[in-house]
Chain A
Amino acid sequence: MEAKEFVLTTIFIPVVAFIVSTWIPGIMRKIQARIQLRIGPPILTPGFWAVLKFIYKERIEPVSPFPRLYHSLPLIGLFLMFFIILLTTPAWVDVLGLTTLVAVAGLMKVEEMLYIFMGNLSRSIMSVRMPYPDQVKGAILKGNARRFFEQVSAIRTFKLISIGSFPLYIGLFVPAVVTGTISIVGVAVYQGFNTTSFAISDIFSLKPLLWSIPGVLGAISYFIGYLVILNEYPFSIMHTKADVIEGPTLEYAAWARASYYLMREATMFVMSSVFVTLYFGIPPVLGWALIPHVLLAMILPVAAAVVSAFTPVLTFKQIYPLSLGFTALGIVGIIFAIL
């Protein structure tokens, strides 16, 4: 029975995550559009039809020193995200001892690192390769290193990983401090989740961490980290169109762009799903209980859409203090949890 559940979970949870995640960009765009007094695109267009369109576009070779590796990075990201959501399911508890917050944090770090690789592997025409007239005529620029937009983005991603994503990891570990375990399912069980049988009606008997002071502080921290890892406004410095345009993903076209969209959509959903598991105590399980999980997982994307509609892109001048501020908030949450 356990083996059967394991196999079914391994197949169906990523499928559900994939299907649901195609709706998220559309929902976000619709909310932003309504705030901006626009109609906005049909909900499935940005996340599903756009992907389908890109898959069927003419395949274009990226300008990159390692084109195949560059193309495979979004797929690796997509795989990582599905792996993360599986690690939060009760069916995977006994697999190699991986279902811990440490494993999730590590995989998220890898996800962030992918953007550095993308940035270093892309050589779009938008910057260095678009020559100026003096260069065309043969001018030699001595002692002058020219930097691609994507390289600038890679450096920015590194800075974001170093400082910007602190709040995310603090937000991940606040539940561990409150519950005294780094097991993800253990955190859910602490909040009243029953691993053997869980029905929709059992939701009302849960005691979510979110209703506690450390929970609220940790959730705020996690939300800021969510925006950072998604490179969503106001933390979209990595691909701000004011200078680096699309940044590391500038060279993705056709099916590669489709796979990048899928990776991003999956990140949106999975990160939110992890939040629901940690702060509401409802992990993704097969059965009707998956419905409330999916619905609650819309909280973060909706909040992100609202925040991004009202904020400009921040530079590191603002990101550093903001990040440190929200990290401090998370630490206060941890102190409350210890007390």
Chain B
Amino acid sequence: MADVDRKDRAEVEVPLGMVHSALLEPFRIRLFVDDEVVVDAEITYDTAHRGIERMMEGMPVQKGLILTERICGICSHIHIWNGTRMVERGLGIEVPQRAHHIRVIGNEMERLHSHLLYLGHAFEILGHETFSMRCFMFREPVQNMLFFLSGNRVHYTIPVIGGIRPRCDIDKDKKQTLLAMLKSLDEELKAFGNRVINDTLIVSRIKDIGYLSKEDAIKYGALGPNMRASGVNFDWRIKVPEYKDNFDFEVIVREGGTVLDRVACRLFECLESIKIIKQALETLPDEEPINVGYELGRMGYSTSYNEAARGEIYDSCSLDDLGRIQSYINRTPSMSSLSAMEVSCIGDHLTDATITIVSCDPCLTCTNRVTVVDENKDKEYILEPEDIRRLARRKI
């Protein structure tokens, strides 16, 4: 039908969410379709806010940093690490190299389990239960490694200001066991990756869908593997000194910009993570893992960027004279990556649109922001960073 006619026709809307089996978290998708081809999409979130940034105000910074870990159950380590790193940068606290290595190990293990969870979820949405379950089977040893490293499967709480917690230190036996576990995981993942990339039916489902061009990826702010799968060569790990000064690894960049590229990017990143963990274990310096000779006090705004499993993470805060948090900002990658998916799912089949949207690995617990509903004035608005700053400046 000609485009002229299309304007006269009623648009057909297929609403998905807030509750839906393909969406593990609460967000809504409005898909406007022509037959079953998506012509426009609208994604809305901000329904599950917990107010962690606000809760942190007035807390001693050590306590507040523990709370940052609770932002997300999947990428908890990067939140506490980036927050700790931000305070250490702001107050000029020196951190032993051994602690840096162990923090990196924690982050890469987290990336491994996050990517494997993503792959499991992606295959589940594709309807391939066997591959989905394989991914969860691969994820299990990674969870065990995290348990072995930190004593917890979720919320590991590895970093503290000045280093790492002593329980997360790695002795000789721990190192050997972790290396053995990594070796078998590496082999299994390589075999699985080959199988996925060569599976005709899987590839036919994801190869030409969810296209996000390099220009759109930059324009809409896709981050992390979503951006790299569209050909943008950027990873905070090549800028963060803890990584760039110590480890040799490859930034996985693919030019395709499709769902296949986003899946493959994460699959190959898993192998790079294993490489980094191995290097970190093998070159672990022999020294105390924590520097306790520091003093907390007033700190102006300090910031820190790092590379979470889903992409760029940003933390910023200021402390008062007693080392209490005055205001805290945490920005996670899902917000802008999800926006990019609104564009990339256009032109997909209805069933493909959900996998496209999910292929950016959205994490709503990280993303949701405060929505204030003022009943008296009958209006609704979302708190922006500037509002939070303004609220944070009130007298405590």
Interface of A toward B, CB cutoff 8 Å: 32, 35-38, 126-128, 130, 132-133, 141, 143-147, 149, 152, 155-156, 233-234, 236-237, 240-243, 245, 309-318
Report how far A181 CA is from B30 CA in the complex, Å. 53
Cβ-based interface call for B18 (8 A): yes
Which residues of A sit under 8 angstroms from B19, Cβ to Cβ?
Answer: 126, 130
- Measured CB to CB, the nearest residue on chain B to A35 is B130
Report how far A245 CA is from B21 CA in the complex, Å. 7
- Measured CB to CB, the nearest residue on chain A to B350 is A243
Known: A147-B12, A149-B14. A312 touches B350 (CB 8 A): no
Known: A132-B28, A234-B201, A315-B352. A242 touches B127 (CB 8 A): yes
Q: Which of B22, B137, B202 contacts A242 (CB 8 A)?
A: B22
Q: Which of A145, A146, A149, A152 contacts B36 (CB 8 A)?
A: A152
Q: Is the CB of B127 within 8 A of A141?
A: no
Task: State the Cβ distance, B392 to closest chain A Cβ, in Å.
Answer: 27
Known: A127-B16, A152-B36. A318 touches B28 (CB 8 A): no
Interface of B toward A, CB cutoff 8 Å: 10-22, 28, 30, 33, 36, 44, 123, 125-130, 133-134, 137, 201-202, 204-205, 349-355, 380
Known: A36-B129, A234-B127, A234-B201. A243 touches B14 (CB 8 A): yes
Which residues of B sit under 8 angstroms from A127, Cβ to Cβ?
Answer: 14-16
Which residues of A sit under 8 angstroms from B12, Cβ to Cβ?
Answer: 144-147
Q: Is the CB of B128 within 8 A of A312?
A: yes
Known: A37-B137, A312-B201, A318-B204. A242 touches B11 (CB 8 A): no
Contacts A144-B10, A144-B12, A145-B11 aside, 9 further interface pairs with beta carbons under 8 A come to A32-B130, A147-B13, A152-B14, A233-B127, A234-B127, A240-B127, A242-B22, A312-B202, A318-B204
8 A-B pairs with least C-beta separation: A313-B127, A312-B126, A312-B128, A145-B10, A241-B21, A36-B133, A312-B127, A242-B354
Q: Is the CB of B205 within 8 A of A314?
A: yes
Q: Which of B14, B123, B349 contacts A312 (CB 8 A)?
A: B123
Q: Which of B21, B36, B127 contacts A236 (CB 8 A)?
A: B127
Task: State the Cβ distance, B81 to closest chain A Cβ, in Å.
Answer: 34
Which residues of B sit under 8 angstroms from A143, Cβ to Cβ?
Answer: 10-11
Report how far A199 CA is from B163 CA in the complex, Å. 81
Task: State the Cβ distance, B84 to closest chain A Cβ, in Å.
Answer: 37
Which residues of B sit under 8 angstroms from A128, Cβ to Cβ?
Answer: 15
Report how far A291 CA is from B214 CA in the complex, Å. 63
Task: State the Cβ distance, B369 to closest chain A Cβ, in Å.
Answer: 15
Task: State the Cβ distance, B33 to closest chain A Cβ, in Å.
Answer: 8
Known: A130-B15, A241-B22, A315-B349. A309 touches B10 (CB 8 A): no
Q: Is the CB of A38 within 8 A of B133?
A: yes
Task: State the Cβ distance, B225 to closest chain A Cβ, in Å.
Answer: 21
- Measured CB to CB, the nearest residue on chain A to B136 is A36
Q: Is the CB of A145 within 8 A of B13?
A: yes
Q: Is the CB of A310 within 8 A of B130?
A: yes
Q: Is the CB of A37 within 8 A of B13?
A: no
Q: Is the CB of A314 within 8 A of B21?
A: no
Report how far A312 CA is from B12 CA in the complex, Å. 27
Task: State the Cβ distance, A246 to closest chain B Cβ, in Å.
Answer: 9
Which residues of B sit under 8 angstroms from A36, Cβ to Cβ?
Answer: 129-130, 133-134
Which residues of B sit under 8 angstroms from A32, Cβ to Cβ?
Answer: 129-130
Which residues of B sit under 8 angstroms from A237, Cβ to Cβ?
Answer: 351
Known: A35-B130, A313-B127. A318 touches B15 (CB 8 A): no
Task: State the Cβ distance, B1 to closest chain A Cβ, in Å.
Answer: 15
Which residues of A sit under 8 angstroms from B380, Cβ to Cβ?
Answer: 133
Which residues of A sit under 8 angstroms from B21, Cβ to Cβ?
Answer: 241, 245
Task: State the Cβ distance, B88 to closest chain A Cβ, in Å.
Answer: 41
Task: State the Cβ distance, B5 to closest chain A Cβ, in Å.
Answer: 13
Which residues of B sit under 8 angstroms from A147, Cβ to Cβ?
Answer: 12-14, 33
Which residues of B sit under 8 angstroms from A233, Cβ to Cβ?
Answer: 127
- 15 intermolecular pairs with C-beta atoms under 8 Å apart: A127-B16, A130-B17, A130-B19, A144-B12, A145-B12, A147-B14, A234-B127, A237-B351, A242-B354, A243-B22, A243-B350, A243-B351, A310-B130, A312-B123, A315-B351
